[in-house]
Amino acid sequence: MDCSRVGKLIFDLRKEKKMTQKQLADAMNISDKTISKWERGLGCPDVSLLKSLSDILGVHIEKILLGNLDPNDIDGGNMKRIKFYECPHCGNILTGTGEAAISCCGRKLLPLVAKTADDMHKINVEEIEEDFYITFKHEMTKKHYLTFFAYVTCDRVLLIKLYPEQGGEVRFPKRQRGTLYYCCKEHGLWINQ
């Protein structure tokens, strides 16, 4: 760990939060001299203080230890590059349109890779009134079910979360041209072509 890089990052983040060394030190129940020492690169935070420092500055502990935030390139939020993440522990569904370090329940999540639907995961899409009416025959038991449907257009994501023992139908308001994704708890992400 490079203490001068860690100190520079702490200094930059503290200034970004508009905090003084004293305010940061008080929030962590330590001396402002300790903060000054870190920011001058004369020492690094003790492991026992990293969680508190991370929470206050709003940065992952790993980034503090590296002393670098490495911002992503601006991608303009291109919806054609959308990625879906699903936490296997709590079921949270997250999306991103660029590179991201996504974590949930203390674990890093990898983006789901969409596959073209096979016979087991076929869906039926009909236009009824001003909606897309989607029906499926996939089992919906507690161990094996479709967890969500997402309709992605050029400027938005419409997402419907599903639950075990729910019926085999979903409705989306009809919008401009888009792509339909859905996820199976056992077999991952599918795309309707």
Residue 23: predicted pLDDT:
95
Domain ranges of the chain: 3-66, 79-192
Is 3-66's fold the same as 79-192's?
no
Q: Please tell me the CATH code under which domain 3-66 is placed.
A: 1.10.260.40
Parts of the chain with a pLDDT under 70: 71-77, 193
State pLDDT tens for residues 142-181: 999 999 999 998 888 999 999 999 999 999 998 878 899 9
**pTM across the whole model:** 0.71
Cβ-contact 105, 89 below 8 angstroms: yes
Residue 73: predicted pLDDT:
61
Q: Which CATH class is domain 79-192?
A: mainly beta
Amino acid at residue number 85: Y
Cβ-contact 101, 60 below 8 angstroms: yes
Residue 146: predicted pLDDT:
94
Q: What is the average pLDDT score of the chain?
A: 90
Residues comprising the chain, all counted: 193
Cβ-contact 112, 189 below 8 angstroms: yes
